[in-house]
Amino acid sequence: MAWTEITRRDYRRSGGRYASDLTDGEWALLAPFMPAASAVGRPRETDLRAVMNALLYIASTGCQWRQLPREFPPYSTVQGYFYAWSREGRFAAINCQSASKRDPLSACNRDPLVGFRIAVTSAPFAGVGA
């Protein structure tokens, strides 16, 4: 794709603190995949959009967990959400959803549980000792 004045305007990443921050439109697509707040226990204090922005910052810059800037939630919180969401298959489900929008004939459209199965079968030591 050639960069024209129209495409530059459409893909501009200004407005966020970092270039990796989610736009409102991107967050609207990801928000349905985020876990609902628990009905029991303490109310959630962590903003899930900030957690997702932190994960995208780490992915785009390659920084270490402990080097996460202070504008984001504590690295241990971000790390905890990352591992939990990976185990639950949330990232696979997001990937599957975006793949099905790009390619209507993708495997995700034929098997609605493919994201869940990928997450379960790719878990560390899955099936060891069974």
Q: In this predicted model, what pLDDT tens digit does every residue of 65-81 receive, in sequence order?
A: 999 999 999 999 999 99
The model's pLDDT over 1-57, given as tens digits with 9 standing for 90+, comes to: 566 777 766 666 666 678 888 888 889 989 999 999 888 999 999 999 999 999 999
* Contacting residues for 54 by C-beta, under 8 A, at least 6 apart: 68, 72, 73, 75, 78
Q: Which pLDDT belongs to residue 14?
A: 62
Share of the chain above pLDDT 70, in %: 66
Cβ neighbours of residue 22 closer than 8 Å, sequence gap 6 or more: 16, 30, 49, 52, 53, 56
For residues 14 and 108, what is the distance between their CA atoms, to the nearest angstrom?
33
Question: What's the token pair of residue 60?
Answer: 């785009």
Domain boundaries, the chain: 19-29+46-85, 89-124
Asked if the model's pLDDT at residue 108 lies above 70, the reply is no
User: What Cα–Cα distance (Å) separates residue 100 from each residue in 3, 24, 32, 78?
Assistant: 26, 21, 16, 28
Q: pTM to 2 decimals?
A: 0.71
